[in-house]
Amino acid sequence: MSLRVLSWLNPIRWLRSLRRSLTPASVTLLLIGIISLNIVWGYPWLGMFAACFACLVVGRAVNYFASPRLKAFVQSARAVPVGCDLAVPTRLVNQRRLPAMDLIFEQTHHCRYVGSLGEVAITPTLRFSRRGKHALPAILVDSYFPFYLFRERQWVASDASIVVTPKRLFREQDSDWLELELTLKGLASQAAQGDQIHYIGSREYREGVPVRRWDFSSWARLGKPILREFSTPAAKSVRVVIDCVRPQSASPDSDVESSGRLSRWLQKCKPTSKEEAAKETGSDTDFEHALSLAAAAVETLVQSGAAVVLEVRSMGDANDRPQLYRCEAGSDPVELLVVLGNAQAEYIDDQSYQNRQPRTEGPTRQRDQATVVIEPGQAVKVAVGAGEY
């Protein structure tokens, strides 16, 4: 407690805070106060100097104690692809008894007045460059009351987080996706057909059943409402397999750990290609591209009317069984995209990776189920049947 009091009374801290809070208006007032000393002629203008000094002291004190205490409430999407803009509606509630005035949020949105327990709504735009789960950044709030003499800056953080999913692929930019998209649409159309609808019998009327299922002839013959029953089509699913196991040579940290301090410094100084730059930032380009293919495949299959079963392979699977995630046809595939966004590569030595055998899931796979296997650094495999792939 004593250390906190001494830190609060530190004059250097106050001077640094004063320097950061200066605005063009306060700097102009400070220059006028210095000129009012009239050093050249030796006759200071005490009235002007006292007015400037009082405005600076009172203005800084009012600006410090009148700054608001805000709490952020965020309503954002659960996931967003890498490199895409996301508008995040945010409500900021003033929790102080005193009102707040002359506020600027994120240096763009100006607010004249926010009352006690009042709120202001803003919509900042975010863009993430790396995949994974990220906390939403804090919102910058500047308080310029009174008269824009000083600026009290604060960062309002929220507890919200978002999952950044793999980068979206476009046919014009990615040749692998251009070849795979047509195949996936064909698989989706076959899976969406399912079994044909057949008449299986009649039963008594139930409340809420559509009119088109009423059997009027049986109703007239029996004297009570009768309904026709049909078998619903059984939609087939397409399995998308993503392998998260990678050889140690593909790890982006392998080159950095093996090199010395001087070689790492020289490597940072020389120009590098996109692939080398991606490795320096800690990303596996082949693995990220495979995840992007899997995400695009899931979205295409679901939108085309096919159910999708996502299989994520890793070394730590319990009982040697991979993790399975299902998404029905026509529904929102955000759950599967979140899984791909949180996927992490597992690196093993090269010899173990070469001797690793692909695993099959015979009991949980249908015989006529289509399977799309995506392995980083290799061509995408598409197969139909319960055999090995």
Query: What tens digit of pLDDT does each residue of 341-365 get?
Result: 999 988 888 888 777 755 544 434 4
Confidence (pLDDT) at 167 = 92
Q: What is the pLDDT of residues 287-305, one digit of tens each?
A: 999 999 999 999 999 988 8
CA 182, chain centre distance (Å)? 28
160: nearest Cα among 268, 54, 70, 75: 75
pLDDT of residue 210: 63
pLDDT at position 204 is 77
Quick one: 156 exposed, middle or buried, by C-beta within 10 A (0-12, 13-18, 19+)?
A: middle
> What's the full length of the chain, in residues?
389
Q: What is the DSSP letter of 9?
A: T
Residue 223's region, left for phi above 0, alpha for psi from -120 to 50, else beta, is left
Q: Could you tell me where the DSSP H helices lie in the chain?
A: 2-8, 11-21, 24-36, 46-65, 175-193, 216-222, 254-258, 261-269, 274-280, 285-303, 334-341, 350-355
For residue 66, count other CB atoms closer than 10 A to its CB: 17
Q: Determine the pLDDT at residue 71.
A: 94
360 closest CA partner among 369, 351, 352: 369
Would you state the pLDDT for residue 134? 93
Residues 6 or more apart whose CB falls under 8 angstroms from that of 188 comprise 238, 300, 301, 304, 305, 306
Q: Which helix (H) or strand (E) holds 311?
A: strand 307-313
Cα 66 to Cα 102: distance, rounded to the nearest angstrom = 11
Please give the pLDDT value at position 279. Answer: 42
List of the chain residues with pLDDT < 50 = 195-196, 255-262, 264-268, 270-281, 318-319, 360-365, 386-389
DSSP-derived 3-state class of residue 301: helix
Cβ–Cβ < 8 Å for 52, 33: yes
